[in-house]
């Protein structure tokens, strides 16, 4: 019996002694993962290559997203866009940063990035989307309906023939309505047409 107690005490002592080291190692590893920015200090070509590499780490084949790497990827996109604003890829990378931010429920960050793309890249083919998505974020993520209204109206003035013009018109007409109100209106309209 004493032998079993002695073995149990030794095992518990060894287990206890090993635990803090493992916890410290885990903490150190986690701290390094969180604070290491893999994009710092790279030249333009290396930075673009690293961003492309990280895209493969973030977007998995099963449709899920690696959140830690997604946050790092956003930083890489922004670093490239800010460091090389005249590069052909900058507008698209900043737009992607906004998309990923929005997908991660970082609406204020996404809004700022869409504003930057819209303001700084007048020739960018996705510029109309950058403006429309600002209005969408104001309306659906931030609840700033006055800003949403102004931005949808601006979109319709600047891009009246764009594919998203009908969506902007619909959004303006239904701004601030609850899903229940929209369903009731749709049902009433359907009854009239029947």
Burial of 187 (0-12, 13-18, 19+ CB in 10 A): exposed
- Asked if residues 37 and 72 have their Cβ atoms less than 8 Å apart, the reply is yes
Q: Which residues contact 71 (CB under 8 A, 6 or more apart)?
A: 104
Q: How far is CA 68 from CA 8, 107, 118, 159, in A?
A: 40, 17, 27, 37
Instruction: Measure the CA–CA gap between 68 and 163, rounded to whole angstroms.
Output: 34
Q: pLDDT tens, position by position, for the chain (194 residues)? A: 433 433 333 333 333 333 333 333 444 455 444 556 788 888 889 889 989 998 888 877 787 888 888 999 999 999 999 999 999 999 999 999 999 999 999 999 999 999 999 999 999 999 999 999 999 999 999 999 999 999 999 999 999 999 999 999 999 999 988 888 878 877 777 777 76
The first and second tokens of residue 74, run together, are 């956003």
Length of the chain: 194
Among 53, 142, 62, 68, CA closest to 105:
142
pLDDT at residue 1, rounded to an integer: 42
Domain ranges for the chain: 40-106, 125-194
């Amino acid at each position: 019996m004493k032998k079993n107690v002695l073995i149990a005490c030794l095992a518990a002592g060894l287990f206890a002694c090993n635990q803090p080291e493992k916890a410290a190692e885990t903490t150190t590893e986690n701290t390094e993962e969180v604070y290491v920015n893999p994009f710092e200090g790279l030249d333009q070509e290396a930075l673009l290559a690293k961003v492309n590499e990280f895209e493969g780490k973030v977007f998995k084949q099963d449709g899920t997203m690696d959140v830690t790497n997604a946050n790092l990827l956003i930083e890489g996109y922004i670093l490239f866009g800010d460091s090389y604003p005249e590069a052909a890829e900058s507008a698209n990378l900043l737009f992607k940063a906004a998309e990923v931010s929005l997908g991660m429920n970082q609406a204020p960050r996404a809004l700022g990035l869409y504003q930057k793309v819209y303001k700084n890249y007048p020739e960018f083919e996705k510029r109309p989307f950058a403006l429309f998505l600002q209005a969408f974020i104001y309306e659906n993520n931030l609840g700033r309906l006055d800003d949403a209204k102004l931005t949808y109206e601006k979109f319709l003035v600047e891009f009246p023939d764009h594919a998203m013009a009908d969506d902007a018109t619909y959004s303006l007409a239904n701004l601030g309505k609850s899903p229940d109100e929209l369903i009731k209106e749709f049902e009433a309209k359907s009854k009239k047409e029947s």
